[in-house]
Amino acid sequence: KIRRNYKRRLGSRNYKNYTQENLRACLASIENKVSTQRRASEECGIPRRTIINQLKLLRSKMPSRPPGAPTTFSDVEELFVDCILRLSEYGFPLTAFDLRIVIRTYLDRIGRKVTKFRDNCPGTEWVSSFLKRRPCLTQRFAANIKRSRAAVDKETVIAYIKNLEDVVRDVLPENMEL
């Protein structure tokens, strides 16, 4: 089973035990012919192969890309976050399961098939990664409260309906689905 947050074992091989500033200074000293690659590697504690690879990136004309694959919804994630926050403001928070179903429904409506998702429904790992990418969203457990302590009152419902009318005003009836 794949762990969500991998931890290195003590005594294993050291990876990236240097800062970006240290690497930049090392590369600058090599570019300015102050020191050789081998000497700079020993002085800065940076593997020589790393120095060679970084020098190739500096000298190449191609821009480097950030590591990892783009997320499934890179362009739409902000809209999802905005909708989730608005729903929670009106007292209708989404659970992780609700979020998965909303994403699945969205994908089915636009006709997009994501091969990483089983039946076009994101898994629990995707939800946890989504929440980690968006620290403004938190997952809380709901508790039953008395009706007298409930935050949803007449004014809140009226404000929600008024906001819903503003949002849905320009949407054609055939585009709405209940």
Give the per-residue pLDDT at 177: 66
Q: Where do we find the tokens 């690497």?
A: 23
> Does residue 68 form part of some domain?
no
Determine the angle formed by the axes of helices 20-31 and 37-44, rounding to 10 degrees. 160
Residue 139 lies in a domain: yes
- Would you say residue 39 lies in a domain? yes
Q: CA of 33: how far to CAs of 30, 36, 37, in Å?
A: 5, 7, 10
> Model confidence at 51, in pLDDT bands (50, 70, 90)?
very high
Domain boundary among 8, 33, 59: 59
Q: What are the tens digits of pLDDT across the range 78-119? A: 888 888 888 887 777 788 898 899 889 988 998 888 888 888
Domain region containing 149: 77-175
CA distance 72 to 121: 12
Domains: count for the chain? 2
Does residue 108 lie in a domain region? yes
In a domain, 15, yes or no: no
Per-chain mean pLDDT for the chain? 80
pLDDT digits (tens, 9 = 90+) for 132-174: 888 888 776 656 666 666 667 788 888 888 888 888 787 777 7
